[in-house]
Structure 1
Amino acid sequence: MLLAYFVLLVVIGVQTIRKVKSEEDFAVAGNRIVWPVFFGSLAASFLGGGASLGMAGKSFSDGYVYMFAFFGYAVSFLLVGLFVAPRLKRYAGAHTVGDVMDEHYGRAGRLLTGVLSILLCAGILGAQALAIGTVVNATLDLPQRPSIAVGMAVVVLYSSFGGAWAVIQTDMLQFVFLGVFIPVTLILALGETGGPSGLVESIPDAHLTFGGSYSAAAFVGLFVAFLLGETLVPPYAQRTFSTPDSKHARRGFALTGIFAFLFYFVAATLGLVALALYPDIEPDQAIPTLVIKLVPAGLVGLVVAALLAVVMSTASSYLNAAAVVFVKDVYQPLVRGGTGVRRKLALERGLTLLVGGLATLFALVVPSIVDALIYAYSFWAPTVVIPLLIALLFGSRSKPAALSAIIAGAAATLIWLVWFQDRTGLDPIVVGAAVNLVAFVTAHAVTRNRGGRRNRPRTAV
């Protein structure tokens, strides 16, 4: 079943290559993705290893409190869908977040956003690569490192062949897999615990409370990190640009947020069931262990394919986005003269291979799926998100404010991560985002006042 699934993904990528005739086809699927497809593709893209294996693992060790913190993602998707995503469709011809940043903050804003976007994509790809290895190792008892390499090779193949067209088609297939077989696994697992009441009696009371064992600072820090960590990251912005108009963008994004609440609850409850039935396993092995132990033999291949679908759909989205971002936001601004269509496509496909390799290496050194995600968010939430939202919502064009905010937020995050996180327990993303906002507002006020004084007419004495 797994072999057939992998072959099907590659076939989709190969046959889709005929549709990719321009950079627009590779980047945003020709701007023809209607909202039901947008919803399925976006949901499959962001419900990756962190939202499934990572969520179950953290709920296994910490309880539902982690799910409540993780709801920051769903809240973010709802807010972006209602108020922000429709505004992205105002930027005709845009493919990346860098296009928006360039419009408001100039070429320097585009370049900084491009570099940070690639770092973010590589980090999140590392988390997905680690999740692929975790699933294969736990279900097929194969070594983790070769499993990571093989799984990422399949993702790289179909992503580099078909670009956004292939990613969106495989996303829809993967969305069906995860939407059917992950809930089926929960139903089978709950039956082993004696139903919901049996589950409640089998796990510690603290695992069912809102705050669990977290301090208020730790909970708020995690919630803010998840609220901002993937706000308008390159793949999600790219999906929004692929819709025909703002109506499709709003509906798809908002529905994804609503679906996220349900999916997080399912994944978290699977973690609690694993704790009740198999308390001695490693947390990240919660869902794979339930699949192997409880799912009937005839369905195991399909459920494992569903787990891999969750992970691989996210990985392919970030791979495609990283390649598009490099060409549009880093390569083109630094190269004089135009770049032909064939050269752009060749660069984007080559970058897909390179970033996939770097993400695989990253997956081999990070301790857990969630740790990989948090590291990756440090490149985005405290740097690009706030200037981007201010540009979209308020039309700001203050270049000094944006650049100051990005640099100050990155510096504050790094300093807090190295010297203060262990002492305070406060997530550096929260500190970095706060410094980012203060720096933007301060620089904007200073430059506006200076501009006002320079332009003020002299009065007669």
Structure 2
Amino acid sequence: MTTLDFAVLAAYFVLIFAIGFSFARRNRSSTEYFLADRNVGWFAIGTSLFATNISSEHFIGLAGSGATTGLAVGHFEWLAVFMVLTLGWVFTPFYLRSAVFTMPEFLERRYGPACRWYLTTVSVLAYIFTKISVSLYAGALLLETLLGWDFYTSAVVMVVATGVYTVAGGLAAVIYTELVQAIILLGGAIVLTALGLSEVGGWSALRAKVPADFFSMIRPMSHPDFPWTGIFFGAPILGIWYWCTDQAMVQRVLGAKNEAHARGGTMLAALLKITPVFVLVLPGVIAKALYPDVTGDNAYPIMVLRLLPSGLTGLMVAALMAALMSSLSATFNSSSTLITFDVYRKLRPQATETQLVRVGQLATVVMVVLGILWVPFIRTLSSQVFVYLQSVSAYISPPIAVVFLFGVFWPRANKEGAVTALASGAILGAARFVLEVMKARPLVADSPALTWFVSVNFLHFAVLLFVIATVLLVGVSLATAATPAAQLRGLTFGTLEGGYVTSEAERRTMRWQAPLSVALMLGVIALWVIFR
């Protein structure tokens, strides 16, 4: 890092704080603070969705997998195109017309308070112990490598810097800083990829220097990490939970001006999700071709340190900081929204707008403090434990996906069926996680059934859990009383108020949005054919 590099990095921080604090005085109501006054346009929504999704562990993990196994990890990026479009076309009408602030609030309207408490608890705990911890771990390692900062300093600086503008500006600050961060992280990643391809001698030279299967994305069913059955049947289940029901992602859509802007934002995010295979996974493949000493997770830092000249190194570090801070700010903001509306307002229904905003700010501060307190423990955890922590989402998401999907598509689904599906899924998912941690112990080793339960690929396990949750939800719902029709008004496709299209202006917008969405999906299918 030269003086020019630090100047570029300083300029990034000045720009981000200027944008963040410009919204601090606008938050007079809870709608302004938590949902940006429901006035966000499609471009900001799309870039914010993308920036929220791409964090520091993507730079490390995607490039690391690229250096180890090739492009196959990119399946998750391209599948996201279909999932984020599902958010825009399937779930958006229900979320916006019900005027909810949170996903647990929507679940309560559809099924009852028990489901709301379950999703709130699971979401907040998952944010603390997985999203914040994994982002900080990956980000601190990157800064330790690139800047020479020690692990603790890196983590604390990132948490405090992100927390300051998130507390002050609310969702609007988060979304519009993410807009800039998306441009910076994409720009930096494209520059590094272009320089790497030039250094290796071009596309043909790259293909000649790495194993042929590095460019094959369709792997056999027996593949330990990316079996095609798990990718095409299991990964979409996780995607529905992450893109369509997770507060951190959906909150951007909740702040949209209208349904057309919300759909347009998801379409832009879908387009952007095609790029990580080429600007995050491919650099790992390039690193493998250029540097034989690459060992997975050090692929991206090695590329930055060895390829970039003065000034561009600062840009790349700014891009990495942008990736980390955008995801952290989204996590802080969505956590504070859940705590405010699904805990505080639930207990204090008469709370004023000022009190709600203050509680939201306080909740963000608490999340920042918890993030700082968590830093020493993050450093002591092994990388394998972090793999386990990330896999938690695969164990909790299938039943949540089931209750949301059946909630909008099947009016007969009721609260008894939803609670049964969520509770059973939680028990089975927790059992899988605990047994996976202790799989070397005799309890598991001596039982073929438990060994299979623990060792089956996590994507295949997600399919199994989805099927079990579906059977339970359908069976229990049919065996118990149906939900009164009045309670379903506006919450299912069969009872959607005003129909799917509410105006002629909406119809005109859909005439070009629909074919463009189809074109995006066909483009991804074409890429799968090319890299099969």
TM-score normalised by the chain length of structure 1: 0.90
Taking the aligned partners of 1:171 and 1:45, their CA distance within structure 2 comes to 7
Aligned residue for 1:424?
Answer: 456
1:172 aligns with 2:184: no
Between the aligned partners of 1:368 and 1:217, the Cα distance in structure 2 is 16
- In 1, the alpha carbon distance for the partners of 2:389 and 2:86 equals 21
Q: Quick check: 1:348 aligned with 2:360?
A: yes
Q: Which residue of 2 aligns with 1:412?
A: 428
- Which of the numbers 320, 337, 348 marks the counterpart of 1:324? 337
Please state how far the C-alpha of 1:268 moved relative to its aligned partner.
0.9
1:374 to 377, 380, 390: 390
**Amino acid corresponding to residue 101 of structure 1 in structure 2:** L
Instruction: Find the aligned partners of 2:53 and 2:421 in 1 and give their Cα distance.
Output: 27
The correspondence of residues 84-99 of structure 1 with structure 2, limited to 5 A, is 84-92=91-99, 94-99=100-105
Residue 316 of structure 1 deviates from its aligned partner by 0.7
Q: Does 1:125 align with 2:139?
A: no
Quote how far apart the aligned CAs of 1:213 are: 7.5
Paired residue for 1:75, among 67, 77, 82?
Answer: 82
Identical-residue share of aligned pairs (%):
25
Q: Which moved more, 1:294-303 or 1:275-284?
A: 275-284
Alignment partner of 1:221 is 2:233: no
Secondary structure at the residue paired with 1:243? coil
Residue of structure 1 equivalent to 2:56: 49
Which one of 268, 275, 278 corresponds to residue 255 of structure 1?
A: 268
C-alpha separation between the residues in 2 aligned to 1:261 and 1:450?
41
Q: CA deviation at 1:7?
A: 3.9
Larger mean CA deviation between 310-319 and 275-284 belongs to 275-284
1:182 equivalenced with 2:189 (yes/no): yes
Q: Deviations over 1:408-456 (max 9, x none)?
A: 11111122332555433344433333322222111111114899xxxxx
Question: 1:444 is matched by which residue type in structure 2?
Answer: S
Letter in 2 for 1:261: I
5+ residue gaps, structure 2 = 1-7, 436-449, 485-532
CA 1:121–1:204: 2 relative to 1, 3 Å: same
1:275 aligned residue (277, 283, 288)? 288
Question: Is this contact kept in 2: 1:39–1:252, CA < 8 A?
Answer: yes
Contact (CA 8 Å) 1:119, 1:379: kept in 2 or not? no
Residue 243 of structure 1 deviates from its aligned partner by: 0.4
Shift of 1:18: 0.3
Contact 2:412–2:482 at 8 Å: present in 1 too?
Answer: no
Matches within 5 A, 1:264-303: 264-303=277-316
After TM superposition, the structure 1 = structure 2 runs for residues 137-148 of structure 1, keeping only pairs within 5 Å, are 137-148=144-155
Change (3 A) 1:69 1:162: closer
Q: What CA distance in whole angstroms lies between the structure 1 residues aligned with 2:122 and 2:470?
A: 17
Partner SS, residue 230 of structure 1: helix
3-state SS of paired residue (2:273): helix
What is the RMSD computed on CA atoms of the aligned residues?
2.5
For the 8 Å contact 1:124–1:376, the answer to whether it is kept is no
**Residue 151 and residue 450 in structure 1: after superposition, are their counterparts in 2 closer, same or farther (change >3 A)?**
closer
Give the match's secondary structure for 1:162: helix
1:85 touches 1:246 (CA, 8 Å); kept in 2? yes
2:111 is the alignment partner of 1:105: yes
2:67, 2:282 → 1: CA distance?
Answer: 9
Q: In 2, are the aligned partners of 1:62 and 1:213 still within 8 Å (CA)? A: no
| One-letter code aligned to 1:411 | I
Structure 2 match to 1:62: 69
Q: How many residues matched?
A: 449
> 1:369 deviation in Å?
10
CA spacing shift, 1:450–1:291, aligned 2, 3 Å? closer
How much does 1:380 deviate? Answer: 4.5
Contact (CA 8 Å) 2:402, 2:469: kept in 1 or not?
yes
Task: Report the 3-state secondary structure (helix = DSSP H, G, I; strand = E; otherwise coil) of the residue aligned with 2:140.
Answer: helix
Letter in 1 for 2:78: F
Distance 1:443 1:46, change over 3 A: same
Compared with structure 1, are the counterparts of its residues 153 and 221 closer, same or farther at alpha carbon in structure 2 (3 Å cutoff)? Answer: farther
Match for residue 439 of structure 1? 472
399, 403, 416: which one aligns with 1:387? 403
* Equivalent residue letter for 1:53: I
Q: Give the residue type in structure 1 aligned to 2:416.
A: P
Give the secondary structure class of the aligned counterpart of 1:381: helix
User: What TM-score do you get using the length of structure 2 for normalisation?
Assistant: 0.78
Q: Which runs of 4+ in 1 moved over 6 A?
A: none
